[in-house]
């Protein structure tokens, strides 16, 4: 080690400029597959693998349409964000306002002043698609439905839902209240990936709440509006919708063999067409799709050397796992290799790319993961060299 340091010092003393070498790898996304093989009747559809967002099938996915109660996916996403942040709990009490109680369409018939827990309000939104429950939660979180809708639109932009504009929190038809199948798939994936507790509610078939009003208490039954749950093996959500203008809509989620798919249907003519075509999409996806997950991404990675730095090797950040979707390919054919940045020189900053993990089938690259530095490594300066010489040689140093 002492000899290496001396060589570095000599290089610093004779060279006053250092070429900084950096490499920036990018994740290689699996290619999208879009084939007109299902001949679906619905106006717009998309099928994605939930974890990676890989598009498996699409038809008019960016056509702006009314989403009806599928809107409530965004409402639920913001509710779960409030819960997970600690700003709200499932046991908090929500008071129904006159505005919330006035909502038409699908509702749970709350009265002004009635109180329910957040937990029961989520049931009412997810299971019975209660417009009154959705608006009551919007007001509880943001102070008004208008303020909550602003948050919905901000979240939509954050998720890349570039063709979406929300006007209300429940999905009743309104001028300008529009989204797309692709955008619905984005918010659906965000909800189920970041807040999997939604499945505790989306899979409820029958339940009930207790209405508590000035006239006393009464039980109110909740029946899931998503009949697809009992029609498709592996179905676990997510949200249906219907209005006369929107037609029949749905974001259908299903899981088989640890593969989670999302099928979005917009503007189907009938409920039967909507459910049938969701099933066709999911069958298509499960037949073609394999998910490959590497849980030991950096196993076997050699030490990464650094030239002209205060350390000889750079410590890299851990990568817990890498997942990609294979379409009509065998995951057992995948090979993995490490490509280290050549002639890596200090200074190195934490977060710099110092190499990449490359996944291939035959000679074709199907995925890449950047290897990042987990520490700062300064270049050897003249002052560092003098201090090193003094500590190691002039005053004894380590022996």
List residues with catalytic annotation: 69, 72, 129
Distance CA 40, CA 45 (A): 8
In Å, how far are 180, 323, 331, 373 from 359, measured between CA atoms? Answer: 33, 11, 11, 20
Going by C-alpha positions, the residue among 126, 66, 52 that lies closest to residue 285 is: 52
Q: Specify the DSSP class assigned to residue 390.
A: I
Closest to 141 measured CA to CA, from 83, 69, 184: 83
CA atoms within 13 Å, Cβ hemisphere of 57 = 26
CA–CA dist 359, 369 (Å, integer) = 9
> Cα separation of 247 and 97, whole Å?
29
User: In terms of DSSP H, where are the helices of the chain?
Assistant: 2-14, 72-85, 98-101, 118-126, 131-142, 145-158, 181-194, 199-202, 271-288, 382-389
With vertex at residue 73, the alpha carbon angle to CA 190 and CA 246, rounded to the nearest 5 degrees, is 130
Output the CA–CA distances (angstroms, integers) from residue 134 to 30, 70, 96, 138, 225, in the order listed: 36, 12, 10, 6, 15
At residue 279's C-alpha, the angle toward residues 242 and 55, to 5°, is 90
Q: For tokens 């909507």, name the residue.
A: 274
CA distances from 222 to 128, 140, 201, 202, 226 (A): 6, 22, 11, 12, 12
């Amino acid at each position: 080690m002492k000899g290496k340091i001396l060589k570095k010092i000599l290089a610093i003393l004779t060279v006053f400029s250092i070429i900084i070498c950096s490499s920036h790898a990018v994740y290689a996304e699996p290619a999208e597959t879009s084939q007109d093989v299902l001949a679906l009747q619905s106006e717009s559809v998309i099928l994605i693998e939930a974890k990676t967002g890989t598009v498996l099938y699409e038809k008019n996915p960016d056509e702006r349409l009314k989403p009806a109660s599928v809107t409530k996916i965004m409402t639920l996403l913001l509710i779960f964000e409030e819960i997970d942040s600690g700003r709200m709990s499932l046991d908090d009490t929500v008071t129904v306002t006159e505005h919330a109680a006035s909502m038409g369409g699908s509702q749970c018939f709350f009265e002004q002043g009635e109180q329910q827990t957040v937990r029961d309000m989520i049931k009412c939104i997810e299971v019975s698609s209660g417009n009154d429950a959705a608006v009551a939660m919007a007001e509880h979180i943001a102070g008004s439905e208008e303020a909550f809708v602003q948050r919905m639109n901000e979240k939509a932009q954050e998720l890349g839902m570039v063709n979406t504009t929300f006007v209300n929190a429940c999905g009743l038809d309104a001028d300008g209240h529009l989204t797309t199948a692709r955008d619905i798939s984005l918010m659906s994936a965000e909800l189920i990936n970041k807040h999997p507790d939604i499945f505790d509610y989306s899979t409820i078939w029958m339940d009930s709440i207790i209405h508590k009003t000035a006239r006393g208490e009464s039980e109110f039954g909740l029946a899931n509006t998503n009949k697809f749950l009992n029609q498709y093996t592996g179905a676990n959500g997510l949200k249906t919708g219907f209005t006369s203008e929107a037609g029949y809509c749905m974001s259908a989620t299903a899981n088989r063999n640890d593969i989670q798919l999302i099928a979005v249907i917009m503007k189907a003519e009938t409920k039967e067409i909507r459910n049938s075509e969701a099933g066709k999409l999911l069958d298509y996806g499960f037949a073609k799709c394999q998910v490959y997950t590497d849980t030991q991404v950096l196993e076997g990675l050699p030490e990464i050397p650094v030239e002209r730095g205060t350390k000889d090797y750079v410590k890299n950040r851990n990568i817990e796992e890498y997942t990609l979707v294979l379409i009509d390919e065998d995951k057992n054919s995948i090979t993995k290799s490490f490509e280290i940045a050549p002639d890596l020189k200090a200074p190195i900053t934490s977060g710099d790319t110092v190499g990449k993990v490359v996944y291939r089938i035959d000679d074709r690259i199907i995925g890449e993961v950047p290897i990042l530095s987990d520490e700062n490594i300064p270049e050897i300066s003249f002052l560092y060299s003098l201090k090193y010489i003094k500590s190691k040689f002039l005053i004894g140093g380590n022996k």
